[in-house]
Chain A
Amino acid sequence: MKKFIQKIFVFFSILIIPYLLLQIIFGFIELNINRNQSEKLSVAIIGNSHSEFAINDQILSEKLNMKYSNYSDGGQSMFWALAGAKKLKHQGVKTFIIEISNTTYQSAWKTTELRELRQTDKKYFLTFDDWIYLAKNDIVFGLQYFFKPKIPSTSVRGRFSRSKKKFTSQIVKENKISKKNKNVFPDYNDEPLHEFIQENKNIEFIIIRVPQHPLYYQREGLKYQEEFLMSKYKIFQKYKNCKVLDFGHLYTQDRYFSDLGHMSSYGSDQFSLFLSDTLRKINSN
């Protein structure tokens, strides 16, 4: 028995120790290859599927003559969006457009485990506090994520996606209001985002809510969440380097949407043109 345990221990040590060393080396490489890429990138958009389907970064880049990149990713919670923002900051991004809606607070750090396990592009940019947060919330997931192999790269997950669907009055399951969130404040702690904004006074932050279908706001429990969200927006507005742009009620017609929470191909083009005008006006002021 003793011999068996010793052999198993040695066998896995031979595998795990070089693997951990390799992770440290990869971490250094990743930090170095990501440093200061500002000539390639100026403004980064982060968020979940709402901004993924709403903000056409190509239109913004053309209209505003700056490099805009959309890094929104379906189902991405604020924890991972923020981890991505840290990587992008390291690359030299000077302006962040961050999509925040009631779903942001609802989804906390995790929507589905499979989605979170895909987030290895941010692995080397998680702070010690982030790792503690993960370990506290789900030690098993934390270990799984820690051991997930990751080869150094400059890429960050996310993109602008053009919806091909025709409008349906459906709502994706992530946007549904759970029973527990109908009458209580959603429990996502946004303190790390506040800290990130306050610590980076030379970076400009734009908190944005993209348009949603009028029926999106008529669901049970949403009124309560709206009030909660508005109170959160007020806090963000207090920071000098942060603006809040709420486009949540901009469009009312079905053709702008593919479902209640996501914009259609047509809607995203229209909204991106509108957003570029708004941003131009803000910049000229």
Chain B
Amino acid sequence: MIFNSIDFALFLPLVFGLYWILNLMDLKLQNLLIVIASYVFYGWWDWRFLSLIIISTLIDFSIGLNLKNEQNLFKRKILLWSSIIVNLGFLGFFKYYNFFIDNFISAFSFFGSDINPNTLNIILPVGISFYTFQTLSYTIDVYKRQITPTNDIIGFSAFVCFFPQLVAGPIERASHLLPQFKKTRVFNYSNAVDGCRQIMWGFFKKIVIADNCAHFSNEIFNNYNDYSGPTLILGAIFFTFQIYGDFSGYSDIAIGTSRLFGIDLKRNFAFPYFSRDIAEFWRRWHISLSTWFRDYLYIPLGGSRGNNFNKMKNIFIIFIISGFWHGANWTFIFWGALNALFFIPLMIRNNNRKHLDTVAKGRRLPNFSEVYQMTFTFSLTVLAWIFFRSNSIYDAFQYIESLILGLFNRQNYVDCLNYLYWEIGHALPLLLLFFMLIEWIGREFEYGIEKIGLSWSKFFRYGFYYVLIILTIFYGGPEETFIYFQF
């Protein structure tokens, strides 16, 4: 089931109503409802893959309990590695099997020996990368004795499969989410209203910004040979907004929905396109994944300790694995490596923690230097997204080559303006401007419209919300599924 569907519009009020009725009875029943609703939510797409979630849940639950009682370090390590192997085994098989087989075949062919390809037609289970990382974090935390394992299987199942964040995050930590399933939830009016506001903003980002941009970025990326330099820049910028609107929109809907159920989820995006350097960008983009890699991979590898070589090595490992996490394609690996290259100069000069505050905090407008820094960082991310979006590394380089060569021909600018005027029209640029303006105004808060209109009269505040809804209904782009579902 996807958020932008009528199925979900019927599903959510039903589960919401039942949930708060059960709140008066029993906590276990309420958690059981979450588990059943989450399985229905997931099974709506393909019920067969529910088995993977259930197996992961049972294995990590029992390993957690065994780790609690086990004092022998060697046996504890065996338990930990069993969980890692099973979880990453599922992930590896469903997501990376064909990638590795194809690359082995290519490598052998390169050395002149042909081997018989034996790839399977494997369907990638939606959200497998997200819930695998979530359950893994539980076992690792229990192993490190940072959390006490739970003996409540229903509460643990709810933690693994909580439907708002099951298929595309935010990737939760057991220390944050699991305790919330252990205590009675109390309905909080202002929290629920705030949740609705965040859901509304999430839908606007997804349906208006991401889906409209997707229409043009798909057209340009799929037919890049037909377009010239400036139009290719436009295509890359559209994808930059598409992926942000799509993924942060999903996170907003997930966080807002959870608030309706009295559950608090981690923040996943913090206005990343207003970052002043790439390090700040990575503190603001897909925060739940970045912090996962930081805590479970980067720090155990040595983090920023040691000499420059060690620092560079660790950064490369983290970014390449992060790229690979996104998908079984060299484009994602290259995207990760490129980000590492952008990051390393900051790291070596110890400038990677220079911008910890929000840009232009307490001011309306940024100064010249901040504008320059934001523009430069934005350009680097646009360049990296070209690799992320392209179908192959070859296509990405061809795209960039056509883009650069096309910049030196005046006619290409005329073509670009024609494309902008005749194909794209005035609505989308105006909507993007409106969107960025709202994001800028709300950059010091949790999400764009969190505080907007709260001090206005009811008439204007509601008017603003109705404008957002009407824009979402009438200016929504052609329906696209969420990009991060494929990861």
Contact = CB atoms under 8 A, between A and B. Distances in A.
Given A140-B10, A144-B6, A4 B466 contact: no
A179 interface: no
Contacts of B10: 140
Contacts of A14: 462, 466
A1 B190 CA distance: 10
Given A140-B6, A149-B474, A3 B196 contact: no
A149 B6 contact: no
B196 A15 contact: no
A29 interface: no
A114 B189 CA distance: 37
A143 interface: yes
Interface string B191-220: 011001000000000000000000000000
Given A11-B462, A140-B6, A140-B10, A4 B473 contact: no
B192 A114 contact: no
B474 A4 contact: no
Interface in B428-477: 462, 465-466, 469, 473-474
Nearest to B473: A149
A3 B189 contact: yes
A8 interface: yes
B469 A15 contact: yes
Given A4-B189, A4-B192, 11 more contacts: A1-B189, A4-B187, A8-B196, A11-B462, A11-B465, A140-B6, A140-B10, A141-B6, A143-B6, A149-B473, A149-B474
A1 B7 contact: no
Interface in A1-22: 1, 3-4, 7-8, 11, 14-15
Contact of A1 (B187, B473, B474): B187
B7 A4 contact: no
Contacts of A149: 473-474
Contacts of B466: 14-15
B226 interface: no
A4 B193 contact: yes
B97 interface: no
Interface in B1-58: 6-7, 10, 20
B196 to A, nearest CB: 7
B16 to A, nearest CB: 9
Interface residues of A, number: 14
Interface string A139-157: 0110110000100000000
A143 to B, nearest CB: 5
Given A114-B479, A140-B10, A149-B474, A1 B196 contact: no
A1 B21 CA distance: 11
Interface of A: 1, 3-4, 7-8, 11, 14-15, 114, 140-141, 143-144, 149
Nearest to A10: B462
A151 to B, nearest CB: 9
In order of increasing CB-CB distance, the 4 nearest A-B pairs are A144-B6, A1-B187, A140-B6, A4-B192
A114 B5 CA distance: 12
A274 B196 CA distance: 62
Contacts of A1: 20, 187, 189
Contacts of A15: 466, 469
Contacts of B187: 1, 4
A65 B185 CA distance: 75
Contacts of A114: 478-479
A140 B474 contact: no
A21 to B, nearest CB: 15
Most chain B CB within 10 A, of A4, A8, A14, A149, is at: A4
A114 B469 CA distance: 22
Nearest to A145: B6
14 contacts: A1-B187, A3-B189, A4-B187, A4-B189, A7-B193, A11-B465, A14-B462, A15-B466, A140-B6, A140-B7, A140-B10, A141-B6, A149-B473, A149-B474
Contacts of A7: 193
Contacts of B192: 4
Nearest to A141: B6
A11 B478 CA distance: 26
Nearest to B187: A1
A145 B20 CA distance: 31
A100 B479 CA distance: 30
A62 B369 CA distance: 67
Nearest to A142: B6
Interface in B362-396: none
Contacts of A140: 6-7, 10
A1 B187 CA distance: 7
Contacts of A143: 6
A250 B478 CA distance: 39
Contacts of A11: 462, 465
B362 to A, nearest CB: 33
Nearest to A140: B6
A143 B10 CA distance: 10
A2 to B, nearest CB: 10
A15 B10 CA distance: 18
A140 B20 CA distance: 25
A120 to B, nearest CB: 13
A15 to B, nearest CB: 6
Nearest to A12: B469
Nearest to B191: A4
B433 to A, nearest CB: 23
Interface string B226-238: 0000000000000
B463 to A, nearest CB: 11
Contacts of A8: 196
A149 B474 CA distance: 7
B88 to A, nearest CB: 36
Contacts of B6: 140-141, 143-144
A14 B467 CA distance: 13
B393 to A, nearest CB: 30
Contacts of A4: 187, 189, 192-193
Contacts of B193: 4, 7
Contacts of B20: 1
A191 B10 CA distance: 32
Nearest to B192: A4
Contacts of A141: 6
Contacts of B7: 140
A8 B189 CA distance: 11
A149 B20 CA distance: 33
Nearest to B189: A4
Contacts of B474: 149
B40 to A, nearest CB: 14
Interface in B336-364: none
Contacts of B465: 11
A56 B308 CA distance: 71
